Amino acid sequence: MDRASRREFIRVAAAAAAVSPAALSYAPQPSLRLPRDVRVAIIGFEGHYSEILEVASANPQVKLVAVAEQNPALSKRASANRLLSEATPYEDYRQMLDKEALDIVAVCGQNHTRARIVQECADRRLAIVAEKPLAMDLEELEATRRSIAANGVRLTILLPMRFSPVYQRMRAIVQNGEIGEVVCMAAQKSYKLGERPDWMKKRATFGGIIPYIGIHMVDLMLWTSGREFVEASAFQSNVGFPAYGEMENNAAVIFKLDNQGTATVRLDYLRPAKAPTHGDDRLRLAGTKGVVEAQEANGLWLITGQKPPEQIRDLPAAGFLFADFLESVYKGKRHLISLEEIFRVNEIVLKAREAAERHTIVRV
Amino acid sequence: MDRASRREFIRVAAAAAAVSPAALSYAPQPSLRLPRDVRVAIIGFEGHYSEILEVASANPQVKLVAVAEQNPALSKRASANRLLSEATPYEDYRQMLDKEALDIVAVCGQNHTRARIVQECADRRLAIVAEKPLAMDLEELEATRRSIAANGVRLTILLPMRFSPVYQRMRAIVQNGEIGEVVCMAAQKSYKLGERPDWMKKRATFGGIIPYIGIHMVDLMLWTSGREFVEASAFQSNVGFPAYGEMENNAAVIFKLDNQGTATVRLDYLRPAKAPTHGDDRLRLAGTKGVVEAQEANGLWLITGQKPPEQIRDLPAAGFLFADFLESVYKGKRHLISLEEIFRVNEIVLKAREAAERHTIVRV
């Protein structure tokens, strides 16, 4: 199970067992030795804020000083976590932003609130860690891009799969030329459906399966392959689960690459409850000289013209998105996800959703 | 390795090693006990005529009486096979059809010749086993459909994967309701490129990667899931192998299902030379109650809400397409591939190719 899946599993397991996330332990992490303490707030407990808590748990310099959440049930559950026990709770995030002296805000609420909150944080010159997607449509995305640029603030989004040893290694294999030029990519996200909050069941507040989970695989495909996407076509729907309203439980997306190669992405919320992990992530890159592939159940495999299939067990250490971001903000390190990449991947998934909704091939 | 892949492997291995197919042995088969001897001819050695030879090798009643092939190199290689040693060789298939008293003709030549030859065989009231695809475009397909109907002849096409134990079992699992309603399908065909004849390097004589290899997976998706396709979108190209001309080495296809579910198909000729099998076939069906999946390297797996992932090892015996066809023609058995299915799957792949070539979503 990679880290993103593990976190998702922890989140779902915690929800399913109705236990506090405080009962769960986090992966060991290096101390960051930041030049000073960092005051962090979390807005919204809908998203994967465990990314923040994991890093805070290993770094006492990361102070969780405030949290804002309108939903009392989510607030109550989060407040049981020792890392959040000192945080001042707010219902209104604007009040929190007005009152608290903050360095970084994690924007983890419902999808439809994100772009607006990110812009408000940018206006206050705060560094921002945002859930994905960053915006609900291209207009919001463009407004957010302008706001970030105008305010000159730092931004990252929760695409932690880039920090997974498997995908880091996959990218290195491509960069080393081991599979030649990438021609044909295939990715899968298959999740357990489980219970979902009401906001995920409406297009206006959720935004769709492609921006929400497709974004991980679009980002990984671009990042590992070094290629760009130029066109998209997509179908999506909810079949068999009317209680989930407008939340799609399946999608099929194809992309044309900048070298005229192709990519397919399949997304579903059909993973059976008895499956060993919450997600069944897969990514396969076929190039002119070889194929490299990661499957949740099988690990990372490489086949080239030079040698038979080989499982790649020599993997780099796992990275931590929020730790990497902190080091970029406070220690001048280059963050693994650039601003340009953040806006580009959001643009692509919104345009791919548009392809599905407008029922046409879209230039991305 | 399933049978289709094995045959493909044998074909490629034989070509690569420049050995005669006579040196290779065929799988054991049941005797058919036909009511009388059957006189069979093969037109063209470009296709997978080993399907015919396999059955003939176990059934002396199947007499290979004539062969027609214009390419002397292919004729010479085939004539080394003991099963073809008694067959009268022709260069001109029309001359063969005029002179020989035949029961069944296997139409295995170059793709662009197929529809015409099939129609000529139908006009002569011969039963026909055709390579795939059946036609190069929808007009040819419609003419072939009319010819088969008007002459009332029997027809099958070389889609032997239906007879594979894995896919038979997959279909049974769906029919038993074990995965509920199929919502999201994903299929892969990845082949070694190897040497290819010149006719495959031209669109006009090859017809494209989607009709040629995509047809296997489209057929299996329809047959195993029990669903229909209503729309298609596709991208395809040849990247990195200019010597192969217009032969695409990658394609990405999506389909919308009749229940609004989705399917993705990825096709490539990028499988590295050192891979253990010629093809890396995959098919995954995700339904409302479970997921069933076949992968070349892993076999058949089932996950449902009822029990953890389980490898399905209890598989039915392999069937044999040509044997099944013979029994349908001479013993009244119902052939596993209906006429309606044959024309439907050809129609779908030609329309999916049209989606790629016309760069638009196509109703299939």
CATH classification at residue A150? 3.40.50.720
What is residue B12's predicted lDDT score, i.e. its pLDDT? Answer: 44
Has residue B23 got a pLDDT over 70? no
CA torsion angle B50 B51 B54 B55 (round to 10): -140
Task: From A126, A143, A160, give the residue that closes a domain.
Answer: A160
Whether residue A17 lies inside any domain: the answer is yes
SS3 (DSSP) at B356? helix
Quick check: B298 and A298 CB within 8 A? yes
| Domain co-membership, B305 together with B343 | yes
**Residue A184 at interface with chain B, using a CB cutoff of 8 Å:** yes
Has residue A138 got a pLDDT over 90? yes
Whether residue A289 lies inside any domain: the answer is yes
What distance in Å separates the CA atoms of residue A36 and residue B66, rounded to the nearest whole number? 87
Whether residue B322 lies inside any domain: the answer is no
Band (pLDDT 50/70/90 cuts) for residue A148 is: very high
Our CA-based measurement puts residue B194 at a distance from the nearest CA of chain A, in whole angstroms, of 12
| Domain co-membership, A154 together with A178 | no
Quick check: B305 and A266 CB within 8 A? no
What is residue B8's predicted lDDT score, i.e. its pLDDT? Answer: 47
| Domain co-membership, B75 together with B94 | yes
Highest mean pLDDT among A83-87, B47-51, B221-225: B221-225
pLDDT in tens, B169-192: 999 999 999 999 999 999 999 999
Whether residue B330 lies inside any domain: the answer is no
**DSSP secondary structure letters along A319-357:** P-HHHHHHHHHHH-PPPSS-HHHHHHHHHHHHHHHHHHH
Mean pLDDT of B134-152: 98
Band (pLDDT 50/70/90 cuts) for residue A28 is: low
Between residues B266 and B297, the one the model is more confident about: B266
B80 phi, psi to nearest 5 deg: -75, -15
Quick one: which H or E segment has residue A252? strand A250-257
| Domain co-membership, A206 together with A122 | no
**ipTM, 2 dp:** 0.92
CATH number at residue B188: 3.30.360.10
Whether residue B329 lies inside any domain: the answer is no
Mean pLDDT of A172-196: 97
Task: Tell me how many helices (H) and strands (E) chain B has.
Answer: 12, 15
Has residue B62 got a pLDDT over 50? yes
Q: What is the mean pLDDT of chain B?
A: 92
Within 8 A of A298 by CB-CB distance, chain B residues are: 298
Within 8 A of B188 by CB-CB distance, chain A residues are: 186
Tokens read off for A61: 């310099």
Q: What percent of chain B has pLDDT over 90?
A: 86
Tokens read off for A334: 């280059």
Q: What is the mean pLDDT of chain A?
A: 92
What is residue B19's predicted lDDT score, i.e. its pLDDT? Answer: 34
What is residue A10's predicted lDDT score, i.e. its pLDDT? Answer: 44
Within 8 A of B276 by CB-CB distance, chain A residues are: 308-309
**Residue B88 at interface with chain A, using a CB cutoff of 8 Å:** no
Has residue A23 got a pLDDT over 60? no
What is residue A47's predicted lDDT score, i.e. its pLDDT? Answer: 82
Has residue A26 got a pLDDT over 90? no
* Residues forming a β-bridge with B255: B232, B263
What is residue B29's predicted lDDT score, i.e. its pLDDT? Answer: 67
Band (pLDDT 50/70/90 cuts) for residue A336 is: very high
Give the Cβ contact number of residue A357 at 10 Å: 14
| Domain co-membership, A267 together with A238 | yes
Mean pLDDT of B139-152: 98
| Domain co-membership, A283 together with A154 | no
**Residue A218 at interface with chain B, using a CB cutoff of 8 Å:** no
| Range of the structural domain that residue A165 is part of | 161-317+338-363
**Is A58 in contact with A29 (CB distance < 8 Å)?**
yes
What is residue B47's predicted lDDT score, i.e. its pLDDT? Answer: 82
What is residue B160's predicted lDDT score, i.e. its pLDDT? Answer: 96
Minimum CA–CA partner of B310 in chain A: A275
What is residue B79's predicted lDDT score, i.e. its pLDDT? Answer: 86
| Domain co-membership, B148 together with B23 | yes
| Domain co-membership, B291 together with B306 | yes
Mean pLDDT of B118-140: 98
Sequence-ordered list of residues with C-beta below 8 angstroms from that of B265, at least 6 positions apart, any chain = A264, B186, B187, B188, B189, B214, B217, B218, B221, B251, B252, B253, B254, B255
Whether residue A323 lies inside any domain: the answer is no
Band (pLDDT 50/70/90 cuts) for residue A265 is: very high
Give the Cβ contact number of residue B42 at 10 Å: 27
What is residue B308's predicted lDDT score, i.e. its pLDDT? Answer: 87
Whether residue A333 lies inside any domain: the answer is no
The B residues from 251 to 310 touching A (CB cutoff 8 Å) are 251-256, 259-266, 268, 270-276, 286-291, 297-298, 303-309
What is residue A1's predicted lDDT score, i.e. its pLDDT? Answer: 44
Q: How many A×B Cβ pairs under 8 Å? A: 176
Has residue A149 got a pLDDT over 80? yes
Between residues B11 and A155, the one the model is more confident about: A155
pLDDT in tens, A317-332: 999 999 999 999 999 9
| Domain co-membership, A266 together with A357 | yes
- Mean pLDDT lowest among B20-34, B117-131, B157-171: B20-34
Alpha carbon separation from B263 to A35, B167, B294 (Å, rounded): 52, 17, 15
Residue B350 DSSP label? H
Quick check: A260 and B239 CB within 8 A? yes
What distance in Å separates the CA atoms of residue B102 and residue B63, rounded to the nearest whole number? 10
Quick check: B303 and A271 CB within 8 A? yes
Our CA-based measurement puts residue A157 at a distance from the nearest CA of chain B, in whole angstroms, of 28
Mean pLDDT of A14-19: 36
What is residue B77's predicted lDDT score, i.e. its pLDDT? Answer: 86
Mean pLDDT of B349-361: 98
Quick check: B288 and A240 CB within 8 A? yes
Quick check: B286 and A181 CB within 8 A? no
**Residue B1 at interface with chain A, using a CB cutoff of 8 Å:** no
What is residue A307's predicted lDDT score, i.e. its pLDDT? Answer: 83
Our CA-based measurement puts residue B293 at a distance from the nearest CA of chain A, in whole angstroms, of 12
Residue entry with tokens 């040819």? B140
Task: From B113, B132, B160, give the residue that closes a domain.
Answer: B160
Minimum CA–CA partner of A257 in chain B: B235
Quick check: B274 and A304 CB within 8 A? yes
CA torsion angle A140 A146 A148 A152 (round to 10): -170
Has residue A8 got a pLDDT over 50? no
| Domain co-membership, A154 together with A218 | no
Tokens read off for A72: 């009392």
Within 8 A of A291 by CB-CB distance, chain B residues are: 190, 270-272, 275
What is residue B22's predicted lDDT score, i.e. its pLDDT? Answer: 36
Whether residue A324 lies inside any domain: the answer is no
What distance in Å separates the CA atoms of residue B232 and residue B252, rounded to the nearest whole number? 11
* Omega cis (within 30) before B133: yes
Has residue B323 got a pLDDT over 50? yes
| Domain co-membership, A228 together with A270 | yes
> Helix H segments across A68-186?
72-79, 93-99, 114-123, 138-151, 165-175
pLDDT in tens, B227-269: 999 999 999 999 999 999 999 999 999 999 999 999 999 999 9
Task: From B127, B144, B160, give the residue that closes a domain.
Answer: B160
| Minimal Cβ distance to A183: which of B181, B249, B304 | B249
Mutate to test the interface with A, among B230, B235, B249 (most CBs of A within 10 A): B235
Our CA-based measurement puts residue B9 at a distance from the nearest CA of chain A, in whole angstroms, of 16
Mean pLDDT of B105-127: 98
- Mean pLDDT lowest among B2-11, B13-22, B56-65, B101-110: B13-22
Our CA-based measurement puts residue B222 at a distance from the nearest CA of chain A, in whole angstroms, of 17
What is residue B28's predicted lDDT score, i.e. its pLDDT? Answer: 60
Band (pLDDT 50/70/90 cuts) for residue A305 is: confident
Number of domains in chain B: 2
| Domain co-membership, B258 together with B140 | no
Band (pLDDT 50/70/90 cuts) for residue B203 is: very high
What is residue A17's predicted lDDT score, i.e. its pLDDT? Answer: 34
